[in-house]
Structure 1
Amino acid sequence: MNILESIKQKKVEEVAFLKSICSIKSLEKSGFFESKTISIKQSILFSKTGGIISEFKRKSPAKGNINLDANVISITTGYVDAEVAALSVLTDVTFFGAKPDDFFLARENNKIPILRKDFIIDEYQIIQSKTLGADVILLIAKILTHQQMHNYTNLAHQLGMEVFLETQNETEILSVLDIDFDLIGINNRNLNSFEVSIENSIKLAKLLPESSIKIAESGIQSVETIKLLKQNGFNGFLIGEYFMKEQNPAEKCKELIQQLL
């Protein structure tokens, strides 16, 4: 069993437990469910600082522990001060070390679009995402059926959220072109081998319509890489580890953005 299959199996167990302790009706009466969302698509399109989506995460299966004791408020508000286009906050506890209130604290303290970064395998998680205050959800093509992607995208849109659809290869990209996603991510990292290939992402981006809002994910470690990807049609860049491995992630983010300007 590879890591993605392990994560998916764990999510099935997690969602079953959540459903047993909190109904959908209860979710719809709590948190930020009635709050208006902020468009990440518009924020990326009109970004004056490079379309950076800065990520808050504590660890990952690929890199192990990154910054376990990171302060979510100081880092995310620091990212916003650096004028990023949006935030991404991990909510997976088992594999990414998220704390239960990470997303809540990020939402409470920031007024820019926030992506809920998790492994969504059930409609329950989409409703939960709205309750958490997410503006956009992540759907991963590799772990969902075509019908699930359609249904989950429609539900997210009904709730006022946008959809960030993550792909990794030609087959996945060609299979999702009829889905009404808002952003499409191309993961530079192979989720089976964890190898990173920027060249592969550039090749895959050419399969997408020019109108697609293309986001590069994983393994982005330099201004030169961002500029190369931008020249090849990418609109935004999801960056986590490059910032989070530093003692001051927000300052690293600010430095990168200043080099892009």
Structure 2
Amino acid sequence: MNLLDTIVQSKKQEIAYLKTHFSNRFFEEQPLFNSATRSLKKSIENSVTGGIIAEFKRQSPSKGVIHAHADVEAITTGYTAGLVAGISVLTDAPFFGAQPNDFAVARANNPIPLLRKDFILDEIQLWESKAMGADAILLIARILSGEALERLTAEAHQLGLEVLLELHQEEELEKINPELVDMVGINNRNLNSFEVALHHSIALGKKIPEKCLKIAESGIDAEETLRYLQQHGFHGFLIGEQFMKQENPAEYCQQFIHNLR
């Protein structure tokens, strides 16, 4: 069993707990459930600062602890001040160190689109995401069948959530429905080995339907890397570790964006 399989098994246990203790009705009654969502896709399309989705995470399986005592309010509001297109917040605790209130604090302090980044396998997680105030969610092709992707995407859309569909392997291309998908992300990091390979992502990106908004994820460690990916047809860029490993992630993000201009 590889690490991704281990994460999925852990997530299935979380889902079982959710289904035992909460209902869709419970989530529907939460204050943020009926709040209007913001379009991450449009924010990226209209961005004049690189289409960056800046990520907040404390640790990762590939790097261990990145920023253990990170201040979610200070960092995410700093991202917003830097004019990012959106903010991604990890909500997985066992493997990414998320704290229970990370997403809530980010939502309460930022008026821009928020992506809930987690390992979503079941509809109840979509209802939970909407109740948290998410604007978009991540679906990972590697861990979902084509049928499950379409079902979860349709349910997300009914709830007003956008979907970022993440790919890494060429065989996952067949899971893209261009009429249904909002954004397609290519993870430059292999989810099995956690190695980064930009050339692989660029080759895969050329096979994605033209009408899809393409997002590059992981391994973007310099402004030159972002520009290089832009030249190869990518529209948005999810950057996490490169920001979060800095002493002041928000300040670094702002300087990164300034250097792009």
Q: How many residues align?
A: 261
Q: Which residue of 2 aligns with 1:208?
A: 208
Matched, 1:183 2:183: yes
- Residue 241 of structure 1 pairs with residue 241 of structure 2: yes
Structure 2 counterpart of 1:41: 41
CA deviations on 1:2-46 (whole Å, 9 max, x unpaired) are 111001000110111122222221111113110000000000000
CA distance in 1, matches of 2:178, 2:145: 13
Letter in 1 for 2:60: S
Aligned partners of 2:86 and 2:142: how far apart in 1? 24
**What is the CA distance between 1:177 and its match in structure 2?**
3.6
Name 1:61's counterpart in structure 2: 61
**One-letter code of the match for 1:233?**
G
Query: TM-score scaled to structure 2, two decimals?
Result: 0.98
Matched, 1:87 2:76: no
CA shift, 1:173, in A, is 1.7
- Counterpart Cα distance in 2 of 1:240 and 1:201: 17
2-structure distance, mates of 1:176, 1:158: 19
- Offset at 1:88? 0.2
Kept after mapping to 2: 8 A contact 1:123/1:152: yes
Secondary structure at the aligned position of 1:95 is classed as helix
- Equivalent residues in 2 for 1:53-202, closer than 5 Å: 53-178=53-178, 180-202=180-202
Asked if residue 9 in structure 1 is aligned to residue 21 in structure 2, the reply is: no
User: CA offsets per residue over residues 144-169 of structure 1, 9 Å max, x none?
Assistant: 11111001000010011100000001
Q: C-alpha separation between the residues in 2 aligned to 1:240 and 1:175?
A: 26
Other structure's SS at 2:54 match: strand
Task: Say if 2:178 and 2:211, in contact at 8 Å, map to a contact too.
Answer: no
Give the percent of matched residue pairs that are identical in Structure 1 and Structure 2. Answer: 54
The 2-side partners of 1:196 and 1:133 are apart by: 31
- Dislocated runs of 4+, deviation >4 Å: none
Secondary structure of residue in 2 paired with 1:16: helix
Q: Name stretches of at least 5 consecutive residues in structure 2 with no aligned partner.
A: none
Q: Does 1:26 align with 2:26?
A: yes
Once residues 103 and 31 of structure 1 are traced to their aligned partners in structure 2, the CA distance between those partners, rounded to angstroms, is 15
CA–CA distance in 1 between the matches of 2:232 and 2:180?
A: 23
- Tell me the distance in 2 between the aligned counterparts of 1:207 and 1:166: 14
Q: Secondary structure of 1:149's partner?
A: helix
Asked if structure 2 preserves the Cα contact closer than 8 Å seen for 1:149 and 1:179, the reply is no
Q: Secondary structure at the match of 2:138?
A: strand
Quote the RMSD (CA, aligned, Å): 0.9
Q: What amino acid maps onto 1:196 in structure 2?
A: V
2:93 partner SS: coil
Give 1:229's aligned residue: 229
Q: CA deviation at 1:175?
A: 2.8
The TM-score, its normalising length taken from structure 1, stands at: 0.98
- Deviations 1:92-132 (Å, cap 9, x if unpaired)? 00000000000000000000000000000110000100000
**Helix, strand or coil at the partner of 1:15:** helix
